[in-house]
Structure 1
Amino acid sequence: MKDKLKWVKNKQLRVQGNKEQVVTLLEHFTVEQVDRVERFHRTYGKFEETPLRRLDALAADVGVDQICVKDESYRFGLNAFKVLGGVYALGQYLAKVLGKNIDELSFEELKLPEVKKRLGELTFISTTDGNHGRGVAWAARELGFKARIYMPAGSAEERLDNIKNEGAYAEITQMNYDDTVRYTSQLAEENGWIIVQDTMWEGYEEIPLWIMQGYTTLMKEVVQQLEEAPTHVFLQAGVGSFASAMVAFLQQYYKPDITFVLVEPHVANCYYESFKRGTEQSVNVGGAMQTIMAGLACGEPSPVAWNILKAYTKVSVSCAEDVAATGMRVLGNPLEMDPRIIAGESGAVPAGCFYAIMTDSNYQDLKEVLQINTTSRVLLVNTEGDTDVNNYRDIMWHGKYPTI
């Protein structure tokens, strides 16, 4: 089926009407700033790097030089990367309340009874599909505070239970993701709770920026683990905070040009629709946004993310459900001596998208636009493991969402 991938070139690529604004945004993701973020993360006593997997047999099979996958299913034992953003944001918030620079503090220091006494009782609140909220709940519990987490309609019960198991109050609402964000914002204002969200709106910019900075530790690890710079990077786009943070750092770390590709589900393809319109302003999409790629079921681009991504992303790809399922099966059933990667739906969709481009003649034109060839070095990020075990098993064992 030809429209399992819909793609559009970015007409705004490096045509920066707001060039000064973009340069200012990049300053939040310099090598020096990312070093500081990593330093704080490493003050957590059980911190460990996640692995970078090389899929040499797959690379040879599809005709590229290299495929590397950063496997975030190992992050902090929480099966997803999102905790990096939540824990750094909480650390920054607490440092600000204490009147200190986070560079002067460690995660373990923030757990001290005398620090907790100074800070008092705090409640952190957030909207999540599962991974971000679990990370916020984990960080709040570790630091001795409360968390309240709200999930959009259709969220998996397993993900809800995982959040509750971190000691937080959690519930699934009857609203989509973006409306749930508005609801939690209202609750925070009414109750004096601290909202920890990775999307921005007017008057709420500081904490989302901290979250974005927190994500960069994973890419700092990647550039230390890689021998050569990637030529192509495929990144998941929900509200765009993760993708834009990765792009902003890589754009400054590597001087050679990198081709960045955004990947989204059809039902929540706000970046695809924004690039398709080709204007300075982004486009929102609405509706229920029910997709197995629950972590990407966001219909409203974050303003900061949009400004970065429209400047540096070459192509946006909107994907059918079976594209994510194919990615899960490709990563979970490796060729020859390639390592097995357990990837959830949102984690696997870039792999599924890349595989479709390389193996389906319907997308030969996209392959040519991206200039993927035998010299290409492709980087993917598995942002989550099997965070919904039942659905993972249905896809891997029972062939749910077959390749069409």
Structure 2
Amino acid sequence: MQFTAFSQEKKNINNIDFLNMEHAKKVLQFHESFPMYQQTPLTDLKKLAEKLGIKGFYVKDESYRFGLNAFKVLGGSFAIGSYIAKKLDMDISKLSYEKMVSDKIRNKLGDITFITATDGNHGRGVAWTAKQLKQKAIVYMPKGSTQERFENIKSENAEVTITDLNYDDAVRLANDEAKKHGWVMVQDTSWEGYQDIPKWIIQGYGTMALEAYKQLPEKPTHIFIQAGVGALAGAVTGFFANAYKESEKPIVTIVEPEAADCIFRTANAADGRLHFVEGDMHTMMAGLACGEPCNIGWKVLESYADFAVSCPDYISAKGMRTLGAPIPGDTRIISGESGAVPSGAVMEMLSNPECEEIRRKIGLTDDSVVLCFNTEGATDKDNYYSIAWDGKEASYR
């Protein structure tokens, strides 16, 4: 496990008003209008906290979100809703699910094709939303994507292709196709000229953060949040930086796979440039196998995140096994590879003597209250069982 601190030079200088409480409440109102909306559970792992020697350990469990087994639908649905609202010259607060799926709105919009690139969860959320709207979705997946995730997206009536490209190149392919055919690109990666939709996606994740904020019985001292391109990490960091001002803000640590640690590399370089990971990114954390940071998310992180860690795959496997086979008295959490890595990182830091310096710098003590987000359930069941049952990616010292 590698560790770095974010530079202090740009602390609190970038504007994060778009992730404030007012916006988060508007996003939550949008999601609450969906008939399948239910608040996902915040699990209090009292026994695990006691064993690790901290005051509290809470995990927000997104495996229950909209029956899709992952949080990603929050961003995709809000971005599509915001796109439709803008197209119709409406405020998103006036566009409920019922209105969005109505024949009246459908007739006004005509036919729209939404296109995206994904390892699975994001694409399924976009395809699901398009299906609700009786619109078309096209999804490109990077090489190595699992058949189960492919079939889950296909079941939402999407046109799906597993490419021979890595994630970032699949994004470029989708964007080229969107430009060529006049389709709508729905991606959380941002670049010059493509800012609105990724910004809406980031705001969409605010529902998860606001729910957790309302559910927590005590203020968290530490938040550990995973990063792919950094959109989710930016959303959570920005929300809690707005909710708890300045010295009250929890210490935020960004967690990534070492094979795709573009946020870690960018933070570690501290030269003002985004640092990419190129080529094949061999990690079982498919949802985090992204080599190019989202510049919108990065601007939030460089000002308001505190630390970044780069983890081998066994850290995630440790989290998966521990959450899935809890200490008696704690609630079981089924967590996929990308969902479990923050919890695994916390466990490693608090139980491995070699992590003493990291633990000290991050400030983990017996008074610490930790919040993690399980962003997905077992979306690749074969891999889940190979880890949970067969000992794949065994933890080691």
TM range (shorter): over 0.9
Match in the other structure for 1:247:
237
Q: Is the 8 A contact 1:146 1:168 kept in 2?
A: yes
Residues 153-208 of structure 1 show CA distances to partners (whole Å, capped at 9, x for unaligned) of 11111100100001100011101011110110000000111000001000000000
Distance 1:174 1:83 in 2: 25
Matches within 5 A, 1:138-153: 138-153=128-143
Deviation for aligned residue 1:136: 0.2
Deviation for aligned residue 1:290: 2.2
Residues 301-338 of structure 1 show CA distances to partners (whole Å, capped at 9, x for unaligned) of 11111111111222110010111101000100100200
Matched, 1:95 2:100: no
Deviation for aligned residue 1:17: 7.9
Q: Is the 8 A contact 1:327 1:348 kept in 2?
A: yes
Q: Is the 8 A contact 1:154 1:290 kept in 2?
A: no
Q: 1:65 to 1:324 in 2, by over 3 A?
A: same
Match in the other structure for 1:7:
3
Matches within 5 A, 1:184-195: 184-195=174-185
Distance 2:360 2:256 in 1: 20
Q: Is the 8 A contact 2:349 2:356 kept in 1?
A: yes
Residues 186-243 of structure 1 show CA distances to partners (whole Å, capped at 9, x for unaligned) of 0000011100000100000000000000000011101110111100000001000000
What secondary structure is seen at the aligned counterpart in 1 of 2:333?
coil
Q: Which runs of 5+ in 1 are unaligned?
A: none
Deviation for aligned residue 1:272: 1.3
Match in the other structure for 2:260:
268
Matched, 1:211 2:205: no
Match in the other structure for 1:325:
317
Q: Is the 8 A contact 1:229 1:254 kept in 2?
A: no
Give the TM-score taking structure 1 as reference length.
0.96
Matched, 1:289 2:285: no
Matched, 1:117 2:113: no
What secondary structure is seen at the aligned counterpart in 1 of 2:161?
strand
Q: Which moved more, 1:101-110 or 1:135-144?
A: 101-110
Q: Is the 8 A contact 2:12 2:303 kept in 1?
A: no
Matches within 5 A, 1:3-402: 5-10=1-6, 12-13=7-8, 15-16=9-10, 19=13, 22-23=14-15, 26-255=16-245, 256-402=248-394
Runs of 4+ in 1 over 2 A off after TM superposition: none
Return the letter of the residue paired with 1:65: K
Q: Is the 8 A contact 2:12 2:304 kept in 1?
A: no
Q: 1:100 to 1:279 in 2, by over 3 A?
A: same
Q: Is the 8 A contact 2:43 2:58 kept in 1?
A: yes
Residues 98-117 of structure 1 show CA distances to partners (whole Å, capped at 9, x for unaligned) of 12111112111111112111
Distance 1:246 1:43 in 2: 22
Distance 1:100 1:312 in 2: 32
What secondary structure is seen at the aligned counterpart in 2 of 1:398?
coil
Q: Is the 8 A contact 2:27 2:78 kept in 1?
A: yes
Return the letter of the residue paired with 2:226: Q
What secondary structure is seen at the aligned counterpart in 1 of 2:34?
coil
What secondary structure is seen at the aligned counterpart in 1 of 2:297?
helix
Q: Is the 8 A contact 2:240 2:249 kept in 1?
A: no
Return the letter of the residue paired with 1:186: D
Distance 1:206 1:88 in 2: 12
Give the TM-score taking structure 2 as reference length.
0.98
Q: Which runs of 5+ in 2 are unaligned?
A: none
Return the letter of the residue paired with 2:383: N
Distance 1:114 1:55 in 2: 47
Distance 1:54 1:279 in 2: 39
What secondary structure is seen at the aligned counterpart in 1 of 2:125?
helix
Distance 1:224 1:59 in 2: 21
Residues 17-59 of structure 1 show CA distances to partners (whole Å, capped at 9, x for unaligned) of 892xx12xx1101111111010111111121000000000000
* Aligned residues with identical type, % of pairs: 44
Return the letter of the residue paired with 1:7: F
Return the letter of the residue paired with 1:140: A
Deviation for aligned residue 1:257: 2.7
Distance 1:110 1:306 in 2: 31
